[in-house]
Each structure stands twice: as structure tokens, then as C-alpha cells.
Amino acid sequence: MPKTLIIVESPTKAKTISKFLGKNYTVVSSMGHVRDLPKSKFGIDPEKKFKLQYQIPAKAKKTVTSLKEKAAKADEVILATDEDREGEAIAWHLAYILKLKPSETKRMVFHEITKSAINEALDNPRYLDENLVDAQQARRALDRIVGYKLSPWLWNKVRLGLSAGRVQSVALRLIVDREREIQAFEPKEFWKVFGTFQAVKGELSTELYEIDTKKFKKFDITDKENADSLVTRLKTLAYSIETIEKKQSSSAPGAPFITSSLQREAARKLYFSAKQTMTVAQKLYEGIPLGDKGQVGLITYMRTDSVNLSEQAIQAGRKEIEKFYGPEYVSDKPRRYKTKSKNAQEAHEAIRPTDPTLHPDLIKGYLDDNQHKLYSLIWGRFMATQMKPAIYDLTNVFVASDDKSAKFKASGKVLKFEGYLKAYPDKRDDSFLPETTEGEKLSDAVITGEQNFTQPPARYSESSLVKALEDHAIGRPSTYASIISTIQARGYVEKNDDRRFFPTETGVIVTDMLVAHFPQIVDIDFTARMEQQFDEVAEGVDTYEKTLSDFYDPFIEQIEEKTKSVPKYEVKLGRTCPEDGGELVEKMGRFGKFIACSNYPTCKYTEQTEEEKKLTEAVGEKACSVCGEGTMQVKRGRFGPFLGCSRYPECKNIEKIEDKTGETCPKCEKGELVWKKGRKRGLKFKACNRYPDCDYIENKKGADSKKKKTVTAKKKPTTKKAP
């Protein structure tokens, strides 16, 4: 029997696939990419049709040697990397190092790691699609061109260590622009009017709906004087129930998950970052050990633009709904979805469980906490697609004054049938109204006015930023996670206590410099057009070389011109240097803004920024606890301001600047609670400043998190059988 070697990217994926195949198949992992562009040089030759100069990374050399040995002994080599462009490129690199002809190399693709899917892929192999490879290489090359040519320009004009990215810079601009909208926002005052009435069977809370036969609008009253006048008038009137409207409403389930919607929902419901979502989903796709069942791939491929569901999956889901929830929950007919995105091409199906009978709670003991949460989300969303709508009873009660000059409205909503919410629950507020009858007289009217102000647009959350990237066609769904994590890692954005993004000082400066001098790089429409060009390369309509050459030549000319014409970033302060009379300017350094003399390096005078001066005032004069001679001064470092001895470098004593709350630690009763920032999410929390002597931590609700904290480790069942 001929021996066949199948190569995938991950050891977990290899292990899961191996259990479906016989002894004549050997499944091995490439451990990801086997070739990449060099880190120390450009790696692209524009003079030779933008040829990419790939090399084998040091960490991959041992794997490559092993793959060559195994391929030499095999009668046939099949490449089974992921079915997207990245996977196609990895397969192409493997074909190159194993000296396989791309036009003759078998390529098997599948959307889920199940026995039927693997056997079908083996029976229907295709060959490498070099158009997909060219599309991936065009993206990689363009990102390298922007990063390697524009980043040094930022080093020269702003400060060392900065970097620019083709799609990351556009995502950063969205956040900076939103912050400016918030800062420029001017709140507008408006008043609401409420009426509380006593009905026969309970209290009825309403809001003014109509005044003098005209519907009451948001900005009809914009000051307290007019609000008080209206309230006084309404208090003099008598009221009764005019009409009661009752109707039934329904809500249908959403489409099954695609990459972007999974990231949004995981952020909204589970507080996962996009990167965290994709990391956990990758593990669920590649396979989890389920006791006697062995390694099982739990979900279909998680990088997809398609909401399509296979007929087999639909029928399996409907069967399980009937068994698990009851026949009354199964939709009257199979529900199918169509992909709205015209550019959807990365996969064949939506993200769904490979086996609907594997209920999340049934396999909970085999998953870690995050895996169980995400699998539950995916399983529930898929099951919901084949379930009946949720049914609500809606009631509108209209209260009218006897002279018909004023009308109030109360609305109630009650869930009558859960439908799909049984599998995919969402936050809902049932609002009940007391039983009333038309014509019923009301008493004890309490009329009040409430002052309100319009609110600025909200900062982007992880979920809304993914939605914005998708709406503007910035990047692809498979790249959203890396885009968001990159701008955070570079220190361009941070998250506040509400898990929303705001730009750092550095992020604003970098964005302003790029907008002013390289507007096309941070232009949303330009970035979307580039994505379209990559799609055209993948479809064979455009070519790799033309896509790059159209961008490269004018971009390099622009870099050269801006290098000569744009001065280094400085903000003139309109003050003179006390040492040599030069002009004081605000510059950007490694650790943020600082003030220095414009005649540097001839004059090395510096002074504190306003922020540092405020910190100095807050800290006060404090003697060095180590040398006793110097005083502790506010200085800037990589992780923000800190206190350092004035006698540095003779004395290298440093101390943290604590963000004090003024509260005594309730646990040790000696220390003081200070604000700290978490490493993973960057959220603030209170903790005792005597740590590690006292480990008290308080969450936002004021509870001692140490009392609630549990450690969830991945369980390894011994006697428990798999489902």
C-alpha cells in the first residue's frame, strides 16, 4: 500500500485528523509558517518584479529538516493547511521547500475536522491556487513596504521606536477621530415630563406623549422655566385611561456566526478581546480531548465571511432541538441565511458546532472556562437559527386629560414564549403594567420634569471597533484581532474602566502626522480599495506585480519629498530658555512629551510638563529614603511617571507614584487603597499598597475579589466517560 504524508499547520490539528485515517497515512505539523521575510532587512526587490526574499526562520529549521525526511519516504504528499489565503500561502511555501511542483501538488481543504469532512476532502483534492497565494503575498508585501519605509520617517520626525502600519494606522485614526468628536461635542439641554397615576389596581408610570394635539418631541422644552410652566399646567388637569392597545410582537434569531460577528458578540457578552476570541476558537476548531472519544474538533473553521449552513448541519440541529428542548421550539421550516457581503470568499460555511449533540454542559468537564464560554456561545447561536421566534405581548396605555390637551403613554412588554432565547438567551427587561380599563378615572397624579442633556458619541468598544472595521472594509475578518492588538501593543491606544478605547498622547501625534503628510495611508476609502485589489488578485483579475508597482513608486517619491520638507515634531511654547535665551519647545521623547530648549544639543535645558508639575505638587517634597540627601522628583519612564532621587546617578533609588483613594485597607487596616491597572485588560482596580504583605483587591462593585476568586484549570477526567 502506498504511504501518504499529510501536512497541516498545528500539532493539535494533526492529532485530531490522525484518528480518522488508517495506518497508510501519516499526519504531521509544519508548526505554522516555514518561510518568512527577514526581520533585519526590507526583503523585497522592486527591481525584480517585487520578488520577496524569503528565508527559513531559525525556529523552523529543525521542523523543515524533519518534513523533508518524511516527504522523501512518502509515496504521496498532501497539503492540508487552512482553507484561507494564509493557509494557501503556507501550503505554497511547503511545496517550495519540499521541491513539489505547485501545479501537481495535491491540496485538501475542509471546513470542519470530522471523519466525513476529512474523507470527503481526501476523495476530492484540488491543486494549489496560486492566485490566492499571490493575494496573500501582495498584502504581506504592501504591509512590509508601508512599515519599513514609513516607520523610519516617524523615527526621524517624531521619535525613535514609533511604527506605522497600513491598516493599523487607519484603525487608530478611527479612535482618534472619535475622541475629537467627543471633545468637540457640546451637550444640548432638553426636558422630559413624566406622570405617575394611581389606577384601581396599581400605580401607572407614564411619559408625556402629546401636548395640544401635537406629539411631544425631544427638544420641545430646552430650559427649566418652560418645563416648570408646563408641569404646573399639567398638575391642574384630571386624567383617565383613553385607549389601551394590545398586540403581539416577535423577534427572530440572528444569523449564525461569521468571524466578525463572533468577535463582536464575544466582546459584548464575554468581555473577550478579538485576539482572545480567535485564540480560543482556534483550539476548539483543531480539537479538544474528550475522554474515550479522543481528540474532537468542536467547531467549524472560525475564519469565514459566509453565513451559509450545510443541509446536513441544519437537519442535525433541528433534530437535537426537538430532542433537547421539545418539538414546540423547532422552527416551522428550516431557516437558511444568505451572505450580504459581496466580498465574502474565505470559506464555505458559518461558524457552528461540528456535532450539535455535544451540548456545552455535557462536555464542560473537558474544557477550560474560556473554551466552555465561547463554545456555549457558538452552540447556542447555531441552535437558535433553527428555533421559533420569541413572542412578546406588547401593551400601550394612553392616559388623556379630560380636556384632551395632554396625553401620556405607558408601554409594557412581557415575554410569552422564549423561542430561540431558550438556547441563546439575551438581556431582556419584562415591563409590567397594572391592569386597567378604558375610561377608568385616575387619581393622585404626580407630574414631574426631568432635565437631560444629549450625550457625545461613545468611544469604541472591542465590539463596536470590529463593526467599524467591517463596515469600512478595513482589513479582513481574519486580521481584525491582530489590528486591534497591534495598536494596543504599540501604546497608541488604551482601554478605560468601561473597556472602551481612547488614544494615548503618542497615538494622537502619530495620527496627526500621518493625516497631514500621508493622507492616503490613513484614508478609509483608499484602504478599502486596496482590499478590493487584493480580492481581484485572488480572483485572477489583477496581478501581484501591478498591485505593488501602482502603489510603490508614488509612495517612495512622497517619502523622499516629506523627508526633506517636513520639520521635526516640535510645539513652540512662546517662552524663552532661562539658560541661553533660546525658544522653549515641546518635543516627543521615548516616554512621552517633554519641554526642552530649541538649541539642543548646545543647550541641554529641560523642564517639567504641566502634568509633571501637577504630580510634583501632589507628591510634595519628600526626602530620599535611601541616601537621605536628595529629594524624590517626578520623572518619566517606560511605564509612566515615577519618583527618582535628585542625586541620580549617585543614588538610584526609585519609587512608584501611587494613585491614592484616601481609603484605609479593610483587610489589614494598616495600608491605604490605591488605584492600579490590570495587565490583561488595562482596567483599574483598588488594591492595598502594602502588597505583597497584604493581598487585598477590590473590584468595581466594592467586593473583595479574593473571596470570590476561583482558579479554573483544564480538567483531565480519569473515570468519567466521554459523551
Residues assigned a catalytic role: 301
What is the Cα–Cα distance from 287 to 269, expressed in whole angstroms? Answer: 24
Q: Is 408 within 8 Å of 216 (Cβ atoms)?
A: no
- Amino acid letter, residue 514: L
State the angle between helix axes of 130-157 and 544-565 in degrees (0 to 180), rounded to the nearest 10.
0
The residues pairing with 583 across neighbouring beta strands, listed in sequence order, are 576
Q: Which residue has the cell 517639567?
A: 608
> What are the CA-CA distances from residue 666 to residues 670, 686, 691, 705 (Å)?
9, 12, 14, 13
What is the Cα–Cα distance from 580 to 582, expressed in whole angstroms? Answer: 6
| Helix (H), strand (E) counts: the chain | 18, 29
What is the Cα–Cα distance from 355 to 359, expressed in whole angstroms? Answer: 9
Closest by alpha carbon to 203, among 523, 444, 468, 509? Answer: 444
Closest by alpha carbon to 657, among 632, 686, 625? Answer: 632
Q: Is 712 within 8 Å of 372 (Cβ atoms)?
A: no
Q: Is 224 within 8 Å of 451 (Cβ atoms)?
A: yes
Contacts 24+ apart (CB under 8 A), 589-598: 589/159, 589/636, 590/159, 590/160, 590/161, 590/638, 591/636, 591/637, 591/638, 591/640, 592/505, 592/506, 592/636, 593/505, 594/636, 598/570, 598/572
Give alpha helix (H) positions in 271-428. 274-286, 311-324, 369-385
Q: Which residue has the cell 416577535?
A: 250
Q: Which residue has the cell 386629560?
A: 401
What is the Cα–Cα distance from 20 to 352, expressed in whole angstroms? Answer: 21
Closest by alpha carbon to 385, among 347, 326, 329? Answer: 329
- Three-class secondary structure of residue 600 per DSSP: coil
